[in-house]
Amino acid sequence: MPWQVRELGRVDYASTAAAMQAFTGERTADTPDELWLCEHPPVFTQGQAGRAEHVLGAGDIPIVQSNRGGQVTYHGPGQIVAYPLVNLQRLGIYVKEYVFRLETALIQTLATFGIVGHRVSGAPGIYVRLSAPGANERLQGPATDPFEGLGKVAALGIKVSRHCSYHGLALNVAMDLEPFSRINPCGYPGLRTVDLTTLGGPGDLVAVRAVLSERLQAQLS
């Protein structure tokens, strides 16, 4: 079944989340899957089980409660946000496999630009070796800090309702990273957040978005 890809531009987070929820609530077994691609104005979003202490000082940036999984994260200009609206039952996969495929699409996107993405067990998202972004070898950080030497370049936060997914992922491309210092990203104090340009990758959102869109559709078809 063909995908409907929607390029939304820069859109408000809360209204976009509401539209995703409405789409998911109204879809039927025959509704084609969709992929929404966008940017958001500066906003902190707090996951369903998010804890207030992970917001260190939001300042002038609003905090919006979300029904996705995970803790607090930041969205802002220069970040590609992708919302795959997928019927997982029709695809024949469960949530764990879905998350794995989202991460695979991100890893493949980074590889296109010479950057090696890594998974960290129990911490969804994609991480990169800060000292050697193109290195295949994962740094073996001490057990007390599995993020030693790593920076987070992409975050995941999903919701599944009636076997259908919404919310999704965010890939940092060319951002003002300062707002991440106002939170414990995804609930991890001291976790460094990076973007593609910091890692020596491209800052062209259009080019990166095209690759990410293609890889997501390939992984979820």
What are the tens digits of pLDDT across the range 160-170?
999 999 999 99
| Per-residue confidence (pLDDT) for residue 189, from 0 to 100 | 87
186 is catalytic: yes
When the pLDDT of each residue in the chain is averaged and rounded to a whole number, the result is: 93
The rounded distance, in Å, linking the Cα atoms of 18 and 156 is: 18
CA angle, residues 70, 213, 43, in degrees to nearest 5: 40
Asked whether 164 and 49 are in contact (CB, 8 A), the reply is: no
| Per-residue confidence (pLDDT) for residue 138, from 0 to 100 | 60
pLDDT band at 196; cut points 50, 70, 90:
very high
Q: Per-residue pLDDT for 197 more than 60?
A: yes
pLDDT band at 146; cut points 50, 70, 90:
confident
| Per-residue confidence (pLDDT) for residue 167, from 0 to 100 | 97
88-92, 109-113, 123-127, 140-144, range with the lowest pLDDT: 140-144
Q: Per-residue pLDDT for 139 more than 60?
A: no
Which burial class, exposed, middle or buried, applies to 73 when counting CB atoms under 10 A from its CB (0-12, 13-18, 19+)?
buried
Q: Which CATH superfamily is domain 4-216 in?
A: Bira Bifunctional Protein; Domain 2 (3.30.930.10)
Of 186, 191, 199, 205, which one is the catalytic site residue? 186
C-alpha dihedral (5, 98, 190, 150), degrees to nearest 10:
-90
| 79-84: average pLDDT | 98
Check residues 128 and 122 and name the one with the higher pLDDT: 128
| 147-175: average pLDDT | 95
